[in-house]
Structure 1
Amino acid sequence: MDLNEPPKKRRAESIVPMINVVFLLLIFFLMTSQLLRPEPFDVTPPEAATQAEVKAHPILFVTSEGRLSFDGAEGEDAIAAIAAQSRASDVIQIRADANLKAAAFARILQNLAAVGLSRVELVVSKK
Structure 2
Amino acid sequence: MRIRRPLPRHPPETIVALIDVVFFLLIFFMLIGRMDASAPFEVLPPRAVSGADLPAGGVIVAIAADGDLALDGTAILPGALLPALRARLAADPALPIRVNAHRAAQLHDVLPWMDQIEALGARDVALVVTPGDLPGTP
Q: Equivalent residues in 2 for 1:76-115 (5 A)?
A: 76-87=79-90, 88=92, 89-115=94-120
Q: Distance in 2 between matches of 1:117 and 1:82?
A: 9
1:122 matches 2:127:
yes
Question: Residue type matched to 2:119 in 1?
Answer: A
Q: Distance in 1 between matches of 2:77 and 2:127?
A: 19
Bigger radius of gyration, 1 or 2?
Answer: 2
- Structure 1: runs of 5 or more not aligned: 1-47
SS of equivalent residue, structure 1 residue 51: coil
SS of equivalent residue, structure 1 residue 69: strand
- Structure 2: runs of 5 or more not aligned: 1-47, 134-138
Q: Equivalent residues in 2 for 1:9-48 (5 A)?
A: none
How many residue pairs are counted as aligned between the two chains?
80
Residue 51 to residue 124, structure 1, CA distance change in 2 (3 Å): farther
Q: Distance in 1 between matches of 2:128 and 2:111?
A: 16
Aligned twin of 2:51? 51
Residue 118 to residue 104, structure 1, CA distance change in 2 (3 Å): farther
- Give the % identical residues: 20
Larger RCO, structure (CA 8 Å, separation 6 or more):
1
- TM-score normalised by length of structure 1: 0.51
- TM-score normalised by length of structure 2: 0.48
Whether the 8 Å CA contact 1:94–1:122 is kept in 2: the answer is: yes
Whether the 8 Å CA contact 1:51–1:124 is kept in 2: the answer is: no
Q: Distance in 2 between matches of 1:90 and 1:54?
A: 12
Tell me how large the CA RMSD over aligned residues is: 2.4
